[in-house]
Amino acid sequence: MTIQIKTVQVCADNTATFNFDSIGDNSKIISYVIGIGGFGLWLDGFEKFISEMNIEVSTVNISALEITVQLDMNISEKSGGGGLSSNACFLTCVAEVNYLKGSPIELFNIQQGESKEGLSNFSSFGSFLSGFNFPSNGDSYGIQSLTIQSALDPVSDGALKAAGICTIYGGKESEKGSLYEGFIGLPSKQDTDITLEVVNIEKPISDSNEIVSHEFSSEVIDAAFLLSGFSLPNQGSAQPITSICAGISLAIPYESSIKIEGKKVSVQQLDAFVFHPGGGPKMNLNGLLIATVPKST
């Protein structure tokens, strides 16, 4: 068995296909999880209050070594004006190819409020965003504060519940949305040729040029960043916006943002901001840095 990481850039309302590598006869995907590495939502115009906002990823086809997904994402105002066609995401898929006996790696997506049972004990794990949805309530609102954060809480032995937060405060009341999450759980012993390592990254409000890096246990084969959450501190009053972006910047190619040097993985152009004509405040951001490494002997 091997663990593989694939990342693609997908524009709004389009499909994308993750192609995984064969590792021998009858190779096939056993389990997988999809997460957001970064996204950008832009409104068509300036100084607008929003009425709905969403990023939703759905699987439309799975074959032996391919997974095709549909990306629906939008931000719009009450009058019906919508987001730009340039709205896009970096989507990452982590897949387990060919299962062997041993402690399995847990890879799954789950919706806020749902539970997953029959899970193993993990030596390390992490959750991250795979989508969110603020549906229209017939009104429009600015953003005074915002929190979108994945979380999985234990509810019993071998069971977890998706307990993330998805809230926008517009100055009068909170708008609560729904959240879609991904989960990676790693046993203490991975019976695989290629193993997976996970480290949590927290990045408070700062300059996007700051480089985040981590040194893994062995020489890294592949790596990716998965967005776990972002938050905007209270701005004192509700602000109109023109865009909201978080995670790895879409302004440069993904391969220019993730740099692998032996055991070390560095991520640059990692940012989170709400932009409006006054300049727009930065947001706090956190996520997972994941890497595949050769099995230790």
CA atoms in the 13 A half-sphere facing the CB of 290: 33
Number of H helices, E strands in the chain: 1, 23
Residue 176: CB atoms within 10 A of its CB come to 12
Neighbours of 218 (CB within 10 A): 15
Q: How far is CA 14 from CA 8, 52, 57, 119, in A?
A: 12, 19, 10, 33
Q: Could you tell me if 293 and 190 are in contact, meaning their C-beta atoms sit under 8 angstroms apart?
A: no
Tell me if 201 sits within 8 A of 250, measured CB to CB. Answer: no
List per-residue pLDDT tens for the chain, 297 residues long: 688 999 999 999 999 999 999 988 889 999 999 999 999 998 876 667 787 889 999 999 999 999 999 999 988 876 655 556 579 999 999 998 886 555 578 899 999 889 988 787 777 888 999 999 987 766 677 788 999 999 988 887 788 899 999 998 877 777 788 999 999 988 767 666 677 889 988 877 656 667 889 999 889 999 999 999 999 888 888 888 888 899 998 888 898 899 999 999 999 888 888 877 666 778 889 998 998 887 654
pLDDT on residue 101: 54
Task: Give CA–CA dist 205/281, Å, rounded.
Answer: 9
Q: What is the pLDDT of residue 83?
A: 57
pLDDT of residue 81: 56
pLDDT of residue 62: 95
pLDDT at residue 123, rounded to an integer: 77
First to last CA, the chain: 16
Q: DSSP code of 239?
A: B
